[in-house]
Amino acid sequence: PPKLSTLQPGLENKDAPSWLEEPIRHVVKSQQFNQEALDHVFKVAREMELVRPGTDESRQLQGAIMSTLFYEPSTRTRLSFESAMARLGGTILTTESAAEFSSAAKGETLEDTIRTVEGYADLVVLRHFQAGSAEKAASAASIPIINAGDGPGQHPTQALLDVYTIQREIGRLDNFRIGLIGDLANGRTVRSLAYVLSMYPGVKMYFVAPDVCRMKDDIKSYLSSVGVDWEEVDDLAQVAADVDVLYQTRIQKERFQDRPDDYEKAKGKYIINAETMKQMKKDAIVLHPLPRVDEIHPEVDSDPRAAYFRQARNGLYVRMALLKLCLENRPLAH
């Protein structure tokens, strides 16, 4: 297993703040978080699980204003951030469809939009259809920007909530086995997850994917270069029996637009059902970033090891933690 000291130079964002002394500046990509930073975020997320309505803790962001600026719809992610802000007493300015943002249509740059919106809010949660948008916005902004997904680029809060869920469910982030299933070629989620988990020692990864959706070479080379033990396997049953975490993903139809046959073949290949659950260990868990279509049979939902709705819920706590860390010790802009 890779040593942390070997890993850090490649993973760490050189410009990242010293986590224990300063608030987070922006949340732009999962690589900005080193192990120490993740530990700190997760510690705060645990505290967030205990925040109850009516208490002082539930008012700790009172007076702060968050603008959710979504250039493409993602109701799930937007509601999760808005709920997180609400539970800490902050105020929400919501924008469901900024793609029709008249200014953007008129040719305004994202930087100009951000410079305007920062006059109205203390923090922006940005969802955009173009990779790199969050970084561009952050470079222009005097207030924190949280990336809620920028097209084929990054979706760092998803990666963080995935890792947080593993820690919460199996009690550790090192020395465990995980199977990543489904569309490993195109899935932003699994790529980020593999990347983040490579920071922890003793993580064995199995990749189980239809031929057309195999994990790409860049990640595989990277994992090898940092000493992560990974393996491509065809047999889901064998992997199910061996792992602590089975991470299923959806085969995305929109990736196969000109190859409907490939889609149908790929889609049906690896389904998690009651049979799969029988093969799994008693204390292993099934995760999924959701939405789920057919790749996990509903009969699995009632199994206590089906952790995907708890995983969605954990997104709330991780986002509460990030909002707190971005806004605390920071003068509000008004």
94 lies in the binding site for a second copy (CB under 8 A): yes
Contact residue for a second copy among 173, 215, 245, 316 (CB under 8 A): 316
> Hey, what long-range contacts does 29-37 have (CB within 8 A, 24 or more apart)?
29/134, 29/135, 29/147, 29/153, 29/154, 29/156, 30/154, 30/156, 30/159, 30/160, 30/192, 30/195, 30/196, 31/195, 32/156, 33/156, 33/160, 33/196, 34/8, 34/199, 35/4, 35/8, 35/199, 35/200
How many other CB atoms are found less than 10 A from the CB of residue 134? Answer: 30
CB of 239 to a second copy, least distance (A): 24
51 lies in the binding site for a second copy (CB under 8 A): yes
SS3 145: strand
Question: 130, 52 in Cβ contact below 8 A?
Answer: no
CB of 320 to a second copy, least distance (A): 10
312 lies in the binding site for a second copy (CB under 8 A): yes
Catalytic (active site) residue 155: yes
Contact residue for a second copy among 7, 28, 98, 161 (CB under 8 A): 98
Number of shown-chain residues binding a second copy (CB under 8 A): 59
CB of 279 to a second copy, least distance (A): 24
321 lies in the binding site for a second copy (CB under 8 A): no
117 lies in the binding site for a second copy (CB under 8 A): yes
293 lies in the binding site for a second copy (CB under 8 A): yes
Say how far apart CA 23 and CA 39 lie, in whole Å: 15
100 lies in the binding site for a second copy (CB under 8 A): yes
CB of 247 to a second copy, least distance (A): 17
131 lies in the binding site for a second copy (CB under 8 A): no
Say how far apart CA 308 and CA 159 lie, in whole Å: 14
Contact residue for a second copy among 290, 297, 305, 330 (CB under 8 A): 290
102 lies in the binding site for a second copy (CB under 8 A): yes
Supply the DSSP symbol for 40: H
Say how far apart CA 92 and CA 101 lie, in whole Å: 18
135 lies in the binding site for a second copy (CB under 8 A): no
What Rg do the C-alpha atoms of the chain give, in angstroms? 20
Catalytic (active site) residue 128: no
How buried is residue 46: exposed, middle or buried, by Cβ count under 10 Å (0-12/13-18/19+)?
middle
9 vs 291 by CB, closer to a second copy: 291
CB of 94 to a second copy, least distance (A): 6
The crossing angle, in degrees rounded to 10, of helices 35-49 and 308-327 is 100
Annotated catalytic residue within 26, 87, 128, 155: 155
Say how far apart CA 192 and CA 154 lie, in whole Å: 8
Catalytic (active site) residue 40: no
Q: Which residues bind a second copy (CB under 8 A)?
A: 51-54, 58, 62-65, 67, 69, 72-76, 79-80, 82-83, 86-87, 91-98, 100-103, 106-108, 112-113, 115-117, 119-121, 250, 252-253, 290-293, 309, 312-313, 315-316, 332, 334
Residues labelled as active-site residues? 76-77, 106, 127, 155
